[in-house]
Amino acid sequence: MALLRAAFSSLLFSSAFALVQDLDDTFKDSRMEDVWLVDFYAPWCGYCKKLEPVWQEVGAELTRSGSPVRVGKMDATAYSGVASDFGVRGYPTIKLLKGELAYNYKGPRTKDDIIEFANRVAGPAVRSLPSRQMFEHVLKRHSVLFLYVGGESPLKEKYTDVASELIVYTYFFSASEDVLPESVALHELPSVVVFKDGTYFTYDEYEDGSLSSWVNRERFQSYLPIDGFTLYELGETGKLVAIAVTDEKDPTERSGRLKGLIQRVAAEHRDQFNRDFQFGHMDGNDYINSLIMGEVSVPSIIILNTSNEQYFVPAEPVEDLEQLLRFFSSVLDGSAPAFGGDGIFQRIKRVAYDARSTVMSVFRSSPLLGCFLFGLPLGVISLMCYGICTAESDDDTELMKRDGFTDEEEDEGEEEEQQQLTAGAEGEEDEDREKIEQKSMTEKKVD
């Protein structure tokens, strides 16, 4: 029995791998006939290797559920021209290709999230709700629901265009007025409505600006838990993000009070702050500390501007709602001091901070590896410096070159000088010998 289960599991595993197609440069011309979910990867990329088993599960699940989405993967380094045509700039890049449109996936790289994205984007941009029962069912499934109410109109055309653009983030629906419950009262038709936070809000072109901007601002609940990925998405709304930094493992009265105060601002002062602020809480301060390159106390309140990396903190601990409202107002009117930013000094500081964090993380995880990675280069550099410092000076050579001499010329000069001295000595000896001989000849003549 165990052998049968193992064989069955092996069969499923091998069939799952067959459900993800390896794509080549011919894919660009043939893809228009189907909807494709494609992973553009690089063989050497660690994140790509981590995504690989998840991607196989995605292919198996979409095929098993009868989805029209076909799943493939392409080596973006081998087919760099095709990848470049699709706007691939990093690895891995996940795109859903539907006709002439290409949608980037920016969510968590989990099977369920990727499948939900594929099914949402592959379907119609605007889904129709034919009955009140269907409306109530969809409303329970979605924390934020956009709905167009009414018949054909220029507003519906705008709504459809916005849905085609922003369907990567959320669902869009349409319905007639009789589908809505009696508790929903619209002042005019057609209308675009967002249902969230247990209530609903209607789009007003004169107050809210473009429909696309309004949908982008409203696609999150007013108050929600925030993590690193959610914070990245919130930054794309253009809002400031007001966060209560807490420790969920060690709840205190102050942590609960700060969360409650921000929730009250989000609910009770929506008209004043909703356009500019997104509210939430974050468990722990590690991620915030890495963003601001500093230390945020827990619990505390911080406001982040993800567009320019600035942040704001209260001058003193927040104790009540009025104090918190004054802090938010001071951020809006510019009287609150801003910290951080994306200037040249902050960029240099960011590089240094990231380098230090990387070194510390390596030493914490593997001290021996850290010593090898950083000790070996330092040792080589030290030896090079020692060799340079102890090398013989070339000053004398340079001076001689400036005087017109080289080492060989100097040696030749010494040899000539020695020869002259030797010749001089020999000349003196010959002269003495001649004198002695002359003296002897003189003496003989006298005799």
Beta-sheet pairing, 145-149 with 172-175: parallel
Structure tokens at 436: 């002695």
Catalytic: which of 48, 371, 385, 389? 48
Tell me if residue 48 is catalytic: yes
CA angle 21-26-30, nearest 5°? 80
Reading the block at residue 400, the tokens are 């001689």
Distance CA 313, CA 243 (A): 10
d(CA 318, CA 295): 18
Q: Indicate which residue of 45, 371, 385, 389 is catalytic.
A: 45
21-22 and 310-312 beta bridge pairing: unpaired
Q: Where are the alpha helices (DSSP H) in 65-182?
A: 80-85, 111-122, 132-141, 154-166
- What SS3 class is residue 365? helix
- Provide the edge-to-edge strand list for the sheet that holds 127-128: 127-128, 172-175, 145-149, 191-196, 199-202
How many helices and strands in the chain, by DSSP H and E?
18, 16
The answer to whether the CB of 145 falls within 8 A of the CB of 192 is: no
Between the alpha carbon of residue 268 and those of residues 39, 262, 272, 276, 283, the distances in Å are 44, 10, 9, 15, 24
Coil, strand or helix: which one is 85?
A: helix
Residue 420's identity, in one-letter code, is: Q
CA-atom Rg of the chain in angstroms: 40
Q: State the sign of the Cα–Cα–Cα–Cα dihedral 323, 325, 327, 333.
A: negative
Active site amino acids? 45, 48
